[in-house]
Amino acid sequence: MMMVSPAASSIKTSNLLPRAALALANVKYEKKGSIAYVTVNRPKVLNALNTPTWTDLQAAFEDAKADASVHGVILTGTGDKAFIAGADISELAHVDAYNAEESSRLGQGVLDLVENLGKPVVAAINGFALGGGCETAMACTMRIAAEHAKFGQPEVKLGLLPGGGGTQRLPRLVGKGRALQLILTGETIAAQEAYRIGLVNEVVPAASLIARAEAILKQIAANAPIAVKFSLEAANKGMDISQAEGFALEASYFGICAATEDEKEGTSAFLEKRAPQFQGR
């Protein structure tokens, strides 16, 4: 059952009031300027993921995808202890094989939506990102971590394996050997180590986390929206096809972008030495 949560937010940004908010039980969702903010809001269980939370995340990201005024998303967790500490063990402990597989597919589907949103999603990792939390962060376009953040895939310690895409995305991000070390040992690593192996893009002081995520999205939003969308799509699809197929896909998207009004505006602005005014057409 959906509950209406307060519209107030602890995230400091522009003076613009939220334009819209979904009524969600376990996720705060609001829009300010061209940025949508998705905040997992279960601080008593360190923002652990259960079925209703996955459903709320799906609703929030579907809305962000459909709203043309949203140019990017920041995903974070409530509080200063956890981004998402993993799956809700109280739910997980009672599932059978069939329900466990269905739960895995639900999470994978939501994270596929996040990864292929067509808009950049920045994970602002403000604490523990373990299990499903690490998997959720990996589905985002990029990851900015607070200095105290921790990462890991500890599922083997529970007699399980990562079920939200961890066995697939982690090797693609950090390499097969390092990924298997993390998955098979279940070890937890600090933010700086996550940065060293390429799991996160940047490590910043906790007080600067949201501001840095906003700055990145605003920098991206200044570019042509269609070009951003197809750049994301080319990179994502290219991971699962041969390099030759990836080159062909890239050339096709390059041609599509060349036919847009934004391309004409971008090249004209460059030659005229002025800032471009992209319209997403």
Q: Which residues are catalytic?
A: 135, 155
The amino acid that residue 247 corresponds to is F
Work out the angle between the directed axes of helices 225-238 and 243-258 (0-180°, nearest 10). Answer: 170
**Cα 79 from Cα 69, distance rounded (Å):** 28
Nearest to residue 139, comparing CAs of 83, 203, 182?
83
Q: What is the DSSP letter of 167?
A: H
Render the burial of 226-260: b for 16+ CB within 10 Å, e for the rest: bbbbbbbebeeeeeeeeeeebeebbeebeeebeeb
Q: What is the DSSP letter of 131?
A: T
Q: What is the DSSP letter of 94?
A: T
Q: Which tokens hold the place of 115?
A: 């990864």
CA angle 29, 214, 240 (to 5 degrees): 80
Q: What is the DSSP letter of 120?
A: -
**Cα 165 from Cα 106, distance rounded (Å):** 11
